[in-house]
A and B are shown apart, each in its own frame.
Chain A
């Protein structure tokens, strides 16, 4: 079993739809990261959160430390949101455990 599990693996949405990607982890962490990998392969760090909720534009990330669960939401999705979204949990040794990623395609 992976330390970090994401769902769904693949997601196709119509432009404008509200999107949710889920992440569950089994390791003890101080913070959780959401990363975005563009079709060209580059990785961008979207959020680091240790409690509650963070919002950046149309992206919202929430975390429940007790339940070891985080969600990434995209409101009013757009084709340019098409990417792979990766949940990552650092362990005490500063390594990251990565989820396998959710491949999102937003259709115009």
Chain B
């Protein structure tokens, strides 16, 4: 069984470009979570999605960031017009319905030049 797959592992963007981070959850998991880890800081919750629904986006910056989890395909975290402060590791986790445990992906390291 494949675990949570995130790609790309490393992403380099110039200021003003768009970054798209993809997350394929564990097969059968319908809940996806995105977390951000800024350099030298701990993990912070960003958004919680179920298929085709955003359940909680209280941790998402108000502008430039969006997330989706379509009926088919991976979850996408999209950052428009990236700035240097967006440089971080972005982790995705998934869980099945009704479970507390979350399975983490290896993360995508975004570097904004």
Contact = CB atoms under 8 A, between A and B. Distances in A.
Interface of A: 30-31, 33, 35, 41-45, 48, 86, 88, 90, 93-101
A48 B100 contact: yes
B109 A41 contact: yes
Interface in B30-60: 31, 33, 35, 41-45, 48, 55-56, 58-59
A45 B104 contact: yes
Nearest to B91: A43
Given A35-B104, A43-B104, A44-B104, A95 B48 contact: yes
B108 to A, nearest CB: 10
Contacts, number: 61
Contact of A94 (B48, B59, B103, B107): B48
Given A90-B100, A90-B102, 17 more contacts: A30-B100, A33-B101, A35-B104, A41-B89, A42-B107, A93-B48, A94-B33, A94-B48, A94-B55, A94-B100, A95-B33, A95-B58, A96-B102, A99-B42, A100-B41, A100-B42, A101-B42
Interface of B: 31, 33, 35, 41-45, 48, 55-56, 58-59, 89, 91, 95, 100-104, 106-107, 109
B43 A98 contact: yes
10 contacts: A31-B101, A33-B102, A42-B106, A43-B91, A45-B102, A45-B103, A48-B101, A95-B59, A98-B42, A99-B42
Given A31-B100, A44-B104, A96 B109 contact: no
B31 A94 contact: yes
Contacts of B109: 41
Nearest to B58: A95
Nearest to A32: B100
B44 A98 contact: yes
Nearest to B35: A96
A30 B95 CA distance: 16
A48 B104 CA distance: 13
Contacts of A90: 100, 102
